Structure 1
Amino acid sequence: MATIDSLLFNISSFIAGLFLLEYGADKFIDHTAIVAKRLNVSPTLVGLLTCGAEWEELVVIIVALSQKNSNMALGNLIGSSVANILASFSLGLLFMKKAEFDRSSKIYSTALLGLTTVFLLLLLALKGSSFQWFGGILLIVAFVVYVVSVASLIYRGTLTAPEDSDSDSDSSDDDGDNDSDSDSDDDDRTINANDSDRGRPSDEEQGWSSDKGHQLNLLKPAPNKMVKAKKKSKTVKVINKRPKAMRHHVFQLALGLAALLVSSYIIAHSASTIGHELALSGTVVGTTILSLATTLPEKFVAILGGARHQPGIMVANTVGSNIFLVTLCGGVLFIWGDASQLQLGFTLFEATVMWLSAVVIFGIVMMGGRRWMGVVMLIGYVAFLVVEIMNGRELDDE
């Protein structure tokens, strides 16, 4: 019998931890990008590693592993992979009657299907510590190869970069920092809006954010609204403040990392307690409660991508996140996770749904998306959650 006080307290802690997690992720990603820019790191590489990357998921998995809860870490990885496709990508399809995908999307989805297959085969064949280490190293190497290859293709203009799910979900939190992080000119200047647009389209019209050059801006206003705004304002006063010192951004980066660590501990501990109170196994808690909550930013980006009719960004964000999960997060899980828990901590049903999700997005990208497909995917995700909860026996105790 679940204790009501304990259950309510841990649910409240879980929700508070989610807010702190998003705050920490925003701080960490934004200021990592700024520090990298100051150190002359390639903007393409920075964009790839900060956009569509599940850094908060990685921290949650590491914290769960530190608590000897490999089941919940694995459940979170599997559940997030399924949720990103069936519950996030599907939301974007609901806003488009018909979606055609470009070459970038086809490359991304093909890579995801291959890497998901490799991850699941390694998981199913998990035997002994030596093989476990080999599998983990193989997945991390695959992540490095993926980053280098995709960064090269993005730099040459062959691929579309992933969208930043964390910053877009909370774009107004750090406007003070973002406004002062431009390293271009130090003098104030006045620009005539009509004259400045004659030579070339503005950054906003091209879909690039002026304060974060590596990010595609899904939150830009519609073209007709932009025209009206230009008519109302003849001149725009652009004030470039002096860039803040490097130590400020290093401090903010450390603050974000600390928030990530603290929030991940709160989330992992409270989720584990909630699962225990409800007699759910650690794996089921990870595949349902934890994964559903930690993929909320991806759902937000998918909705914006669908509303703005940018299917390529939807695919890049969804697939990029999942590749990050099955390679880097999967590698960490294999190396530091408990082999016996990993072997018994998942079912063939969960592995099958994860693989079929990758097959579904691959098929949709190749054939074209329709609104009804999004509805079917959402129904499938709800069915997955129901089956998981109904079968959520205490596997850890068996």
Structure 2
Amino acid sequence: MAYLLLIVGFALLIKGADLFVDGSANIARLLHVPTILIGLTIVSFGTSSPEATVSIIAALEGSADVSLGNVVGSNIFNITLVVGIAAFLYPLKVEGETVKKEVPFTLLASVVLLILMADTVLQGGGSNLLARGDGLIFLLFLAIFMYYVIEVGLRSRKDSDREPIPENITWGKNIAYSVIGIAAIVVGGQLVVDNGTQIAYSLGMSETLVGLTIVAIGTSLPELVTSISAALKKESEIALGNVVGSNIFNILFVLGTSAVISPLAVSGRVFADVIIMILLTALLFIFSRTSYKIGKTEGLVLAIGYIVYLVYIILRN
């Protein structure tokens, strides 16, 4: 039964992503804003909902390792495998604003996470903790980011209001596509995580390893299928904006909300993963600067990077 539900979950993910990308791209056209802004907001927030659900529930249950590990693991998966596969399928065009502001903002959010969780180093004692005050700082950064995105969207509308919109692109149909698509993505992702975890336990995998691999990968499947679907449809702005936006939401919204609900104790082991996440984000920024696109070679390097990281955490645990 678990194997059947796993297949159903993957089917929902794939079809949901197809509808969601089509609906989101057309909503961008109806709003007269660049598709990357839709990728950074609606798409990234929607595909980050599994991480938010898992991490917030974990925070309520006092499982800080799951909450923090899920976000860091998912972000590493997004930067490496999601961008890597999408770029390998179809080179991702990088908008100037993305290179100048969005990717550096992701890097800033990652560095802020490292600083706020390093209480022992900075204060010379106590325990490493993401306190409620730290969570409020994350949410404040999120408000600043959303203000910037809305301002860019309003400014860009002035330049694109005159562009004609095909008659077959309507609000009702595309809102329905987006809602049905994200619902299928969330339900499909949950089925994959639950049944994949059950199968993994039956095969003898440890709880730690399941958390670092299946849960982190499972909650990032919406980003993966959405970005691949966007790349195949040559909507590269949605593919890249989805990843950049999701990583920002994961740190600022998911960890911010989780820490406000219940302070998160930070284990020493996760520091290495956060540093790896920062280095990979810096690498993504460098790749984004080369000809303002992420090509097949860069995509392959990023994908291989995830395989190396996966081997590292398997050996470490």
1:340-364 Cα distance to aligned partner (Å, 9 max, x none)? 4x334x4333122211121121111
Structure 2 match to 1:163: none
Match 1:78 to one of 72, 81, 93? 72
Residues 1:357 and 1:130: Cα distance change in structure 2 (over 3 Å): closer
Name 2:297's counterpart in structure 1. Answer: 372
Q: Which protein is richer in helix relative to its size? A: 2
Structure-2 change in CA distance of 1:308 and 1:21 (3 Å): closer
Structure 1 residue 332 and structure 2 residue 257: aligned?
yes
Contact 1:101 1:366 in 2 (8 A): no
Per the alignment, residue 267 of structure 2 pairs with 343
CA-based RMSD: 4.4
Q: Deviations over 1:32-74 (max 9, x none)?
A: xxxxxxxxxx998x95643211122211212233343322222
Matched-pair contact (CA < 8 Å) for 1:52–1:320: yes
Contact 2:79 2:280 in 1 (8 A): yes
Unaligned runs of 5+ in 1: 1-8, 29-41, 159-199, 216-248, 393-398
Alignment correspondent of 2:211: 286
| Partner Cα distance (1:375, 1:362) in 2 | 16
Q: What is the match of residue 169 of structure 2?
A: 210
Residues 63, 212 of structure 1: CA spacing in aligned structure 2 closer, same or farther, 3 A cutoff?
farther
Q: Does 1:382 align with 2:307?
A: yes
Q: Does 1:363 align with 2:286?
A: yes
SS at match of 1:291: helix
Task: Select the residue among 31, 37, 52 that pairs with 2:44.
Answer: 52
- Residue 83 of structure 1: how far off its partner (Å): 1.1
Q: Say whether 1:102 aligns with 2:61.
A: no
Cα distance in 2 for partners of 1:14, 1:333 equals 28
Residue identity opposite 1:389 in structure 2:
I
> Where in structure 2 are the equivalents of 1:207-246 lying within 5 Å?
210-212=169-171
**Distance in 2, Cα, partners of 1:261 & 1:337:** 26
- 1:123–1:343: 8 Å Cα contact kept in structure 2? no
Amino acid at match of 1:325: N
Preserved CA contact (<8 Å) 1:93 1:374: yes
- 1:323 deviates by 0.4
Please identify, of 271-280 and 354-363, the stretch whose mean Cα deviation from structure 2 is larger.
271-280
- Separation in 2 of the partners of 1:149 and 1:92? 26
Kept after mapping to 2: 8 A contact 1:77/1:287: no
Which structure is larger by alpha-carbon Rg, 1 or 2?
Answer: 1
Deviation at 1:337, TM superposition (A): 4.5
Q: Which residue of 1 aligns with 2:118?
A: 124
1:20-59 aligned within 5 A: 49-53=41-45, 54-59=48-53
Once the two structures are superposed, the pairs formed by residues 103-252 of structure 1 within 5 Å of their partners are 103-125=97-119, 132-157=131-156, 203=165, 210-212=169-171
Q: CA, structure 1 residues 43+136, in 2 after alignment: closer, same or farther (shift >3 Å)?
A: farther
3-state secondary structure, aligned to 1:210: coil
Structure 2 CA distance for aligned equivalents of residues 304 and 328 of structure 1: 25
User: What is the deviation of 1:148?
Assistant: 1.8
Relative to the length of structure 1, the TM-score reads 0.58
**How many equivalent residue pairs?**
289
2:23 match: none
Larger mean CA deviation between 53-62 and 292-301 belongs to: 292-301
Q: Is the 8 A contact 1:124 1:343 kept in 2?
A: no
Code of the residue aligned with 2:279 in structure 1: it is L
- The one-letter code of the counterpart of 1:66 is L
The one-letter amino acid of 1:343's match is S
Gaps of 5+ in 2: 21-30, 121-125
| Structure 1: distance between partners of 2:129 and 2:69 | 23
Deviation at 1:129, TM superposition (A): 9.4
Among 276, 283, 293, the alignment partner of 1:353 is 276
CA deviations over 1:287-328 (Å, ceiling 9, x no partner) = 311222222232233334434544433321110111000100
> Could you tell me which amino acid in structure 2 is paired with residue 350 of structure 1?
D
Deviates more, 1:147-156 or 1:16-25: 16-25
Q: Is this contact kept in 1: 2:192–2:218, CA < 8 A?
A: no
Q: Is the 8 A contact 2:71 2:250 kept in 1?
A: yes
Pairwise CA distance, 1:91: 1.6
Deviation at 1:19, TM superposition (A): 7.1
Superposed displacement of residue 135, structure 1:
0.7
